[in-house]
Structure 1
């Protein structure tokens, strides 16, 4: 094999053992050129692999020029055999070529769909399952499993690790570095002869077939012939082991060209993009990936004693996370891992043994810290880097410039950023992230801020995924800069929006992203949609986003005067049409309208704060202090609360909103509840009123706790519900009261229990005051008088002429002290409350 014929190095994708073996084989045979399984269009940019700024994991990204959403990746890790071969060739000034099916064909054959890029491996595993075949062909579909079974292994991954990954290149010193590849080629030949040459999976995700194996192998043979004419026979071919027998077959050029005839084509564009360890892992959805890229990277870089070095790294991580791990733990973990490997008959402790040892020794048997080890080390969150000289679209270059300027470095690990919009840099970061979200590049996701509720604060959760490079390429059709592309897309979406709520949401996003050039178009469309839309539900749904946008002018220094006028006009139209829109609704529609009622109520409060209107007189439940938008809205709520025929949930909610704003007296609220819960009201309608009035979580429960008159009304009504109707109203009541906190429910139960002896009515107490006993308790009141006198400074330290209680020495406070006598009734009532 070391003669004039090409050297075929069959490898497994992302295998550190294969990578070491490839390096040793190349050193031994010193080829005149190196051929790699990959898209030939990448020959023009393969030299960038030697750039100091190129740090794997990285991937070749190919996308259709006229349809960037149709894309595919060829990922490389630092321990990938193909990457090692490329770096070896560039370091030794040896030509390197890609020989797989061109990206022009594989993209055209990609059925993954727009926006679902498919990672295509640069080299297949020795055998990969074919999803399209039936279960009866399992051995043929997974050659790796067949070889493992022949060797007596139940786990194909375990066999490959023992047979290849734990081997050192060339075996013993002075051994033949090509011998392992000859053995693998022979095994693959037997498997293909036994199980047939069915197509093996190419590792595509999302339905990509990337071309059949027959077409791919035909193209490889054509490229191999072409390279032999150019460089002679001293070639080295690094490809998936499954393809090695096919490359040695005797096929004519005409037959191979016929296999490629008629394949569809597109115009591709290739570039290098960063990749991540998480995307290399199998559980991320990449079929030809590996489950433990961090562990494989460790095996590739550890020059000796890999288990000891791994345990040291694990101990360092656990210490950083405040877990007590000492050197003794490391020593014992190494001993246990070696012992487990010996018991299990393995040549070296693998990931299974080291994991078991870490769990038992360093984690005290707990999987909680072990999950951290798996996430940070076994998989890892490494994000590769590509040099600035790599081909990129103008939009990508502008984004890279902004990332450097704003010090927002892409990271593979999830990270939270707290932004203070009062600072120029943080405000610019916020604008960039909002612009990218508008373009569909979801690098960051807004989350609830832990630092407060101020509008000047934003929290983002950032994580860079390789697919975002495709999103950036897709967004390039809108412009060459981030702000220009976001502006163009916002204008296009505004013109194409059919619903009013969509336009208001877009206006909010334009303000967040600070796109002043897009706002006139959005505002014009918004005004047109608002003028033509007569559906009050649509108007109510659109108002909150519009009002939130008006507030951004304070913190983001964005002009929102025109937006405020539109919001005010929209609110007025809601005021006029809401009462009529609430009539004749069924249960589901009433529940939806009640949600709109809450949203409009909050929006009106925000709008009144942002743009206060001139005072206007109002009548009805709003009271004499009403003015402006709030006053008119209070009038609408008053109409809703008192109009008969409207759904109970809406009437109850309107009364509650008025009560919370102080525009409805408590007596009036009690009267409305009494009317709603009267005998003539259907139980289901009364239950809906209760849900609307107190069905707002803890605040509704606290209202009943502090106003026992309302609780008594609910209690009396519930006791009087007929048995045949109780089953119907129970779900509504359970849904209402189950939303309260446990402490609120417990307090309500105590209040009801205390009034249970009075026919189900909460006790009225002294003078009709809720929550107090019916009679005075002078003895219990007198017990607290000494403390009260001390607090009020009434005790002069002398004899007050008081009596003692039963010889116990306790001053009852009964005497001529006028101030003490004044306290007695109040204390008596306090004592009576405990009865």
Structure 2
């Protein structure tokens, strides 16, 4: 049969207009059948014409949908638009058909140069036209309008019944669905006009001009695959002059286009995509299943549930299929749809629970598929360098979120860490740091990775900083350091540069850091900036980074904090005192870390800890310093061994004397034993301190008790339940009345005797030998002697 004979079998004169639903598997099958029957000489597809040169890449073996055409403004990469395509999208099927049959394929929608120039108030990829202000009238959903006219309250269910569940029609019927849809859309356009999409007439004018050009070149053997909403407009009579008049004066920007990977989640309506569908995974299954789609789907669900250690047998699957078919009959549906299969999965495979059903919804109904594009696709230099780094480090982008544990002592893991930190610095949030569930050493890092299609836009935006990931991150860090006005921002930037391995950016960042630190006189901001700066010093050893300059700046910053802190802590209100207490704790931790690396800062900074302890002694003894800060300073000195327990008890006794206002005394207690620093255990093990607190608390006047109660509740509420229970027991028994192992003798610790019970200790020795793999020889005897000596 010749091509002309095949074409004459299509209904009516003129071009073949195939109105489709974007991302509809039924439409995709119908388009393929119609193209096979009609054999057009050219296929026109709704999409940006600048992408015509990218069409041959759709035949590349490395191209795996879902993918998307990405258009972005050259001078403003953040202004972008996507045209997503799945393997069950009619447009993708039309592209593949044209390439397989060596037929030209062209895009005919409004050029991206105009689309990007418009204020994008709506997604330009929506099925019914995409962009438009929608301010003149309410936007019409064609699918919902047709479903309502058919008596359906769910557009998706109506679409499944009339399109997705159609049987295999013969060749003579392949054009009938498109004729019916075109007639329905024509009625809607007569009623609603543009349907609230005031930009659609402009887009449709450009489509008509492109259609006329194709007809002049190829004759009437032209097939058009576009959103069904546009079919009546392409049928309408309009002059070339009128269409050109609509396109006159449109704004323009210079645009670049390429293919980028897409995900099923971004095809879903829940992601905010205007042309989204509720169930991309289900639709993909319907498109790819050769037969018995319900049985194959439920088998796939059973496999997923078995992977999650749920008991699902073949009998469960058979029963679920029967239930889905029965529900379809009862609901008057031609075949079981997603609703019937979901109900069957819940009732039979999930035993009525929505918890495993949510997993099925997430993994299968929506899905975590991430498409792939070939290396030959156009890309900005930064994107190509990122792809090379991903291959070198064996770090493949994935749509499914996953955790990545890194050991920075290994070269590959260190490289992965640097890459992820550099991307974060560039605003490409592929990975986010997470709390490690294992070791907390500086050589360990945990990341939570998930690639989103929008990150391709972020990479394009970051291309203005350089052509490689390292170069772009360096340029971005230097620019941020120059523009930063806050000292804490610059210290954080220095930390990021060390984590990302950007030695070339550090000189600029360090100069900015020294300048900001010299000009900033606020002790609170200096104290806030110091911890991040000192934390960065820890990365020098494991990452092989020279941090001597950083240590020098950190030591100088610490000196300024020491000088200004006592005066900054005077005459603070309660809220300011609480905030300053956090700064004191942070500085104490930072000084400890800085003291460990004092050698890097030179001999003049080797006694930072001594000077810090002198500052704490000053704080602890000044009456003008709020009680919470004085108590905290005493507690730190006690923990550091710089204050004897007797001296700490004396200071507490002075503070809790009747002459001290109850509120100030309660604040001192909050600073001394409050928070999560082990204050509860201190009271458990130091009977004198507990007795002082107990005596003071029982002596607080009734009229002042209600004022100090909130602070006391906050102090003791953070203790572990066991600690609170033990303190309660000690208070109940009274100070000095700790019992000896329940024998009534004083002087012991609750639950413990004054002497070890050797008989009970000997009972565990055989088990210890077994656990340690020791026999009855000399090693076992040595273990026994060691344990006995330790007990004594």
* Structure 2 length-normalised TM: 0.90
1:684 corresponds in structure 2 to: 663
* Aligned-pair CA distance for 1:615: 13
Q: Secondary structure at the match of 2:376?
A: coil
For 2:26, which of 10, 17, 27 is the aligned residue?
Answer: 17
1:743 corresponds in structure 2 to: 722
1:764 corresponds in structure 2 to: 736
Query: Residues 709, 362 of structure 1: CA spacing in aligned structure 2 closer, same or farther, 3 A cutoff?
Result: same
Do the aligned partners of 2:68 and 2:83 also contact (CA within 8 Å) in 1?
yes
In 2, the alpha carbon distance for the partners of 1:220 and 1:102 equals 10
1:463 corresponds in structure 2 to: 450
In 1, the alpha carbon distance for the partners of 2:758 and 2:476 equals 74
In 2, the alpha carbon distance for the partners of 1:437 and 1:614 equals 29
Q: Secondary structure at the match of 1:38?
A: coil
- Structure 1 position 240 matched with structure 2 position 227: yes
In 2, the alpha carbon distance for the partners of 1:740 and 1:503 equals 36
Query: Residues 616, 86 of structure 1: CA spacing in aligned structure 2 closer, same or farther, 3 A cutoff?
Result: closer
Query: Residues 647, 785 of structure 1: CA spacing in aligned structure 2 closer, same or farther, 3 A cutoff?
Result: closer
**Paired residues for 1:315-464 under 5 Å:** 315-464=302-451
1:288 corresponds in structure 2 to: 275
Q: Secondary structure at the match of 2:463?
A: helix
* Aligned-pair CA distance for 1:300: 0.3
2:166 corresponds in structure 1 to: 167
In 2, the alpha carbon distance for the partners of 1:151 and 1:654 equals 77
In 1, the alpha carbon distance for the partners of 2:540 and 2:265 equals 41
For 2:76, which of 53, 67, 70 is the aligned residue?
Answer: 67
Do the aligned partners of 2:401 and 2:448 also contact (CA within 8 Å) in 1?
yes
2:127 corresponds in structure 1 to: 124
- Structure 1, 39-48 or 743-752: larger mean CA deviation: 743-752
* Aligned-pair CA distance for 1:2: 3.0
In 1, the alpha carbon distance for the partners of 2:753 and 2:77 equals 81
Do the aligned partners of 1:74 and 1:119 also contact (CA within 8 Å) in 2?
no
Query: Residues 130, 240 of structure 1: CA spacing in aligned structure 2 closer, same or farther, 3 A cutoff?
Result: farther
* Aligned-pair CA distance for 1:125: 4.8
- Structure 1 position 192 matched with structure 2 position 192: no
Do the aligned partners of 1:764 and 1:771 also contact (CA within 8 Å) in 2?
no
Do the aligned partners of 2:739 and 2:746 also contact (CA within 8 Å) in 1?
no
* Aligned-pair CA distance for 1:785: 11
Do the aligned partners of 2:548 and 2:600 also contact (CA within 8 Å) in 1?
no
For 1:53, which of 36, 58, 62 is the aligned residue?
Answer: 62
* Aligned-pair CA distance for 1:792: 9.9
* Aligned-pair CA distance for 1:789: 7.3
Do the aligned partners of 2:680 and 2:719 also contact (CA within 8 Å) in 1?
yes
- Structure 1 position 697 matched with structure 2 position 682: no
In 2, the alpha carbon distance for the partners of 1:8 and 1:198 equals 21
2:498 corresponds in structure 1 to: 511
Do the aligned partners of 1:129 and 1:142 also contact (CA within 8 Å) in 2?
no
In 2, the alpha carbon distance for the partners of 1:614 and 1:220 equals 70
Query: Residues 226, 784 of structure 1: CA spacing in aligned structure 2 closer, same or farther, 3 A cutoff?
Result: closer
Q: Secondary structure at the match of 1:67?
A: coil
**Paired residues for 1:92-111 under 5 Å:** 92-111=101-120
* Aligned-pair CA distance for 1:366: 1.3
In 1, the alpha carbon distance for the partners of 2:428 and 2:370 equals 18
* Aligned-pair CA distance for 1:557: 0.7
1:821 corresponds in structure 2 to: none
| Unaligned stretches of 5+ residues in structure 2 | 1-9, 763-792
Do the aligned partners of 1:9 and 1:181 also contact (CA within 8 Å) in 2?
yes
For 2:652, which of 650, 673, 698 is the aligned residue?
Answer: 673
In 1, the alpha carbon distance for the partners of 2:739 and 2:707 equals 31
Query: Residues 777, 422 of structure 1: CA spacing in aligned structure 2 closer, same or farther, 3 A cutoff?
Result: closer
In 2, the alpha carbon distance for the partners of 1:188 and 1:608 equals 76
Do the aligned partners of 1:127 and 1:144 also contact (CA within 8 Å) in 2?
no
For 1:538, which of 514, 519, 525 is the aligned residue?
Answer: 525
The count of corresponding residues between Structure 1 and Structure 2 is 750
In 1, the alpha carbon distance for the partners of 2:68 and 2:558 equals 52
Do the aligned partners of 1:446 and 1:460 also contact (CA within 8 Å) in 2?
yes
- Structure 1 position 611 matched with structure 2 position 614: no
1:813 corresponds in structure 2 to: none
1:578 corresponds in structure 2 to: 565
* Aligned-pair CA distance for 1:592: 1.3
1:712 corresponds in structure 2 to: 691
In 1, the alpha carbon distance for the partners of 2:132 and 2:172 equals 33
1:563 corresponds in structure 2 to: 550
Query: Residues 239, 381 of structure 1: CA spacing in aligned structure 2 closer, same or farther, 3 A cutoff?
Result: same
RMSD over aligned Cα, in angstroms? 2.6
Query: Residues 652, 261 of structure 1: CA spacing in aligned structure 2 closer, same or farther, 3 A cutoff?
Result: same
Query: Residues 191, 54 of structure 1: CA spacing in aligned structure 2 closer, same or farther, 3 A cutoff?
Result: same
Q: Secondary structure at the match of 2:173?
A: coil
* Aligned-pair CA distance for 1:127: 10
CA deviation string 1:546-595 (max 9, x = no partner)? 11111111100111111111111111111111101111222222111111
Q: Secondary structure at the match of 1:69?
A: coil
2:790 corresponds in structure 1 to: none
Do the aligned partners of 2:132 and 2:200 also contact (CA within 8 Å) in 1?
no
Q: Secondary structure at the match of 2:81?
A: strand
In 1, the alpha carbon distance for the partners of 2:286 and 2:535 equals 54
* Aligned-pair CA distance for 1:777: 8.7
- Structure 1 position 28 matched with structure 2 position 28: no
Do the aligned partners of 1:307 and 1:354 also contact (CA within 8 Å) in 2?
yes
